[in-house]
Amino acid sequence: MKKAILLLEDGTKFVGTSFASEGETFGEVVFNTSMTGYQEVLTDPSYKEQLVAMTYPLIGNYGINNEDIESHKIWVSAFIIKELSSITSNWRSSLSLGQYLVKNNIIGIEGIDTRKLTKHIRLAGAMKAVLSTKNYDTAILAAKLKSYPGLVGRDLVKLVTCQKPYWFNKNGKFRVLVLDCGVKLNILRLLAKNNCSVFVVPAFTSAKDIISSNPDGVLLSNGPGDPAAVTYAIETIKNIIERFPIFGICLGQQLLGHAFGGKTYKLKFGHHGANQPVMDLKTRKVAITSQNHGFCADIASLKNKNIEITHINLNDNTAEGMAHRKLPIFSVQYHPEASPGPHDSSHLFKHFVNLMKNNKK
């Protein structure tokens, strides 16, 4: 148990105790409002280069298991909590949270006022930060932090995408090609559950290769970083939008927005958590959703593009879903596969299947 310092780029400092690996790491500090699901949060590739602070005060009480992971490794740069549970109680648990972070060489800090940190981020916005267990000199840390480039303008997808194609599931009536920008496992699981064979390809796969594989539909996955920087994926999408039914999730929606000629922008502090309210503008029904994004499609930039905004976030009225008025293409900014989170929006996978079914007729 060593002293640990979290320093934000505006000079705000928090001092706590290390409960995992030691070292120094940089990233963007954000807060997550989920009460449970820390294991899924840790293994979500969309959190690449982010220091995640959990707003719920007690974390780690049910440990870590081998089933509830969303990728093959931890992607967060660091984990920030108020208090680590001294007891791990779950019949599936194989490791404690601290042991899991140490095993994956991830720094964790506890004992800081996470409520104060969250309120500060809400007012000042998400910002660059450094977390260190070996250097406590604020001036030295601040100097190092100035050289960290942040997330804007950077392509992080290339760091999380698979490097070669693979089959997740071969047994399904509808052949779905998943463009892996940092895909979560539960997206693949729900596709398979909805009678889809699932073929996953790297984000840098060309439109020519996608067209030659002749899928029934294409899913654009979630992922980290600035969508505007993932120019190769945007170009690929431009060249397939008139050929296949397409379902975009999170970063997938942002990339679609760019492919249709729109823009994206960075949110002040992003949406991260499993309790975000979203309204379907057609039915006026509200779903509680799981979200994890720091960028958003610019609604104004999509006017006169045959794009209809289908869902909005009730906290800040940002775009949470859109659909093409003529083509079988739709997307959501939130995570219908959840993990963690509610299952209010899992029906969207059935909608995707119906689009593929109708397109075959």
SS (H, E, C) 227-273: HHHCHHHHHHHHCCCCCCCEEEECHHHHHHHHHCCCCEEEEEEEEEE
Exactly one of 120, 272, 311, 335 is catalytic; name it. Answer: 335
Region 302-330 average pLDDT: 96
pTM > 0.85: yes or no: yes
24 is catalytic: no
pLDDT in tens, 232-241: 999 999 999 9
Domain with CATH 3.50.30.20 in the chain: 3-146
Facing residues of 313 across strands? 278
Region 110-126 average pLDDT: 97
The CATH number that domain 157-360 falls under is 3.40.50.880
- pLDDT for 361 beyond 80: no
293 is catalytic: no
Q: Sorting pLDDT into bands at 50, 70 and 90, what band is 12? A: very high
CATH classification for the domain delimited by 3-146, as one of 3.50.30.20, 3.40.50.300, 1.10.40.60, 3.30.360.10? 3.50.30.20
Facing residues of 132 across strands? 5, 24
pLDDT in tens, 70-97: 999 999 999 999 999 999 999 999 999 9
335 is catalytic: yes
Mean pLDDT of the chain: 97
What is the per-residue pLDDT for 360?
A: 81
- pLDDT for 141 beyond 90: yes
Domain with CATH 3.40.50.880 in the chain: 157-360
Indicate the residue type of 358: N
DSSP 10: T
pLDDT in tens, 260-274: 999 999 999 999 999
**What is the Cα 8 distance to its own chain's centre?**
22
Exactly one of 250, 271, 311, 320 is catalytic; name it. Answer: 250
What is the per-residue pLDDT for 1?
A: 75
